[in-house]
Amino acid sequence: MHPRATLAATILGSSLAFIDGSVVNVALPALAQNLRVDAHDLPWTINAYLLPLGALTLLGGALGDHFGRRRWFNIGLAAFTLASAACAAAPSAPWLLAARSLQGLGAALLLPNSLAILGSAFTGEARGRAIGTWAAVGALAGALGPVVGGWIVDTIGWRAIFLLNLPIAAGAGFLSWRYLDERKESQSATPLDAAGAGLATAALGLLTWSLTKASESGGGHAWPWAAAFAGTILLGAFLRLEGKLGDRAIMPLNMFAAPAFVGLNLLTFFLYGILGGLLVLLPFFLIRIGGWLALSAGAALLPIPIAIGVGSRFMGRIAARHGERMPLTVGASLVGIGFALYSTIAVHGLNYWRDVLPPTVLVAVGMGACVAPLTTAIMTSVDVGRAGLASGFNSAVARVAGLMATALLGFVFARQGSVDSFMSGFRAAALLGALAAALAAGSAFFFIRPDVRSRTADGA
């Protein structure tokens, strides 16, 4: 047992996934110009990563439970490393998209198994400290990603942001090989639901493609509608299969019998969807339309991870005393006000302190108020034995929400040829974000009862 090495290995491995979830955002303009990526296809540089990550995270955890967590952590690490090298060497957009998809697959194996390794390697208060450290470093990695990535894009070039992954992966691989113990659950663990994972991935892929195509200007073709119909059919087949499998499903439907669980996942979908869209669209706007350096655009987002990191501990105590309903409602409302303010930004005479910082601070404070109470509420909204599954599903919902939001950004990216047209799309996206935040606040207020924690603790 090597607790420090175990913690270091899992943190280094999972940090790869957190970094690449944000660092590419500031490289989009340079990447699009260098590889001649069409504006309509630009969202896929993000979604090619998010699609397998969102759809296969639960399957990745199940593989680790059955066949060994260290084994599948290392397989994910190897896939992610190979994909990062392929991204850096990409001679064309299709090559890059294929490599990004492999990165997403690797991350879907890395993330759940890194957390599961920590959960089995530590007990009691030590486990809480280890998971807290893992989460804090992950947040820090996500925060520094756009800043460091912006500096690299400005000084070296966009390809270097992928090469940065290689030494981190080498360190994680050495520590895993040298120090990690192999752990897996007994044969009574939830069986693999490969068919469900396949149906979910295919359905999400078709729905994402249809959203991307439908959001393009002048897109009146029949193919997006056909893809949306096929994706809906596959989604229905997935739900039917999960209903038949019951507790053996990758997503047991009887978890949704708890109203709080439904409301919390609706809140997650709306809130993390618009946050994911903001983290892509705002840097693109500042670089492409505002003429900012990539480093400056990445730094403009720093209030969000800082507020989440600082506010989470404080809001965790508030939620423990007064419940999660009001922090989530108020926090989502603040995010909505921030998005409404984004819609007032004018490109001429753009000033960070006057135009960008105030709405960003509101979004940051709102997200800081939501993250810790949301995590706690998800864990307590279902039976204790399903807390891990509920947390994993909620994480997948957050990533799928970002996937859908990024797909819809094709509506804005397609208008970058004209500043006025782009700004119209930007303001429309901001107002839609404000509406989604209002729906998130309503989900918290109406679905979460003030006494939900005490009721679930009593087994009600």
Average pLDDT over residues 315-340: 88
Looking at the fold, whether 219 and 363 belong to one and the same domain comes out as no
Looking at the fold, whether 296 and 324 belong to one and the same domain comes out as yes
Average pLDDT over residues 337-353: 92
Q: Tell me: pLDDT of 276 over 70.
A: yes
Residues 458, 452: Cα–Cα separation, whole Å: 10
> Per mean pLDDT, which range of 77-86, 110-119, 305-314 is the poorest?
305-314
Residues 6+ apart with CB under 8 A from 101: 48, 49, 51, 52, 83
Looking at the fold, whether 9 and 140 belong to one and the same domain comes out as yes
Residues 6+ apart with CB under 8 A from 234: 199, 202, 203, 206
* Mean pLDDT over the full length of the chain: 84
Looking at the fold, whether 264 and 413 belong to one and the same domain comes out as yes
Mind listing the pLDDT tens digit for each residue in 41-90?
Answer: 788 888 889 888 888 887 887 788 778 888 999 999 999 999 999 999 99
Quick one: tokens of 49?
A: 């990563």
Residues 310, 191: Cα–Cα separation, whole Å: 39
Mind listing the pLDDT tens digit for each residue in 429-457?
Answer: 999 999 999 999 999 999 988 754 444 44
CA 316 to chain centre: 21
Q: What is the CA radius of gyration of the chain?
A: 21
pLDDT bin (cut points 50, 70, 90) of residue 250 is confident
Residues 207, 215: Cα–Cα separation, whole Å: 12
Looking at the fold, whether 206 and 263 belong to one and the same domain comes out as no
Q: Find out whether 396 and 347 touch, Cβ atoms under 8 Å.
A: no
pLDDT bin (cut points 50, 70, 90) of residue 97 is very high
Looking at the fold, whether 273 and 398 belong to one and the same domain comes out as yes
Looking at the fold, whether 94 and 159 belong to one and the same domain comes out as yes
Give the domain-ending residue among 187, 218, 239: 187
Looking at the fold, whether 82 and 152 belong to one and the same domain comes out as yes
The Cα angle at residue 249 between residues 454 and 405, in degrees rounded to 5: 80
pTM: 0.81
pLDDT at 266: 96
Average pLDDT over residues 162-182: 89
Residues 6+ apart with CB under 8 A from 281: 409, 412, 426, 429
Q: Find out whether 15 and 141 touch, Cβ atoms under 8 Å.
A: yes
> Per mean pLDDT, which range of 10-24, 89-103, 115-129, 337-351 is the poorest?
115-129
Looking at the fold, whether 92 and 46 belong to one and the same domain comes out as yes
Residues 64, 76: Cα–Cα separation, whole Å: 11
Quick one: tokens of 334?
A: 């603040």
Give me the number of domains the chain comprises. Answer: 3
Looking at the fold, whether 143 and 60 belong to one and the same domain comes out as yes
Give the domain-ending residue among 161, 187, 213: 187
Identify the domain containing residue 329 by its residue range.
256-460
The gap between the terminal CA atoms of the chain, to the nearest Å, is 39
Helix (H) or strand (E) holding 215: none
Looking at the fold, whether 415 and 293 belong to one and the same domain comes out as yes
Q: How many CB atoms lie within 10 A of CB 36?
A: 8
Q: Find out whether 242 and 249 touch, Cβ atoms under 8 Å.
A: yes
The Cα angle at residue 40 between residues 200 and 28, in degrees rounded to 5: 90
Give the domain-ending residue among 166, 187, 208: 187
Residues 393, 56: Cα–Cα separation, whole Å: 10
Q: Quick one: what percent of the chain has pLDDT higher than 70?
A: 90
Looking at the fold, whether 235 and 285 belong to one and the same domain comes out as no
Q: Find out whether 337 and 280 touch, Cβ atoms under 8 Å.
A: no
pLDDT bin (cut points 50, 70, 90) of residue 168 is very high
CATH code at position 123: 1.20.1250.20
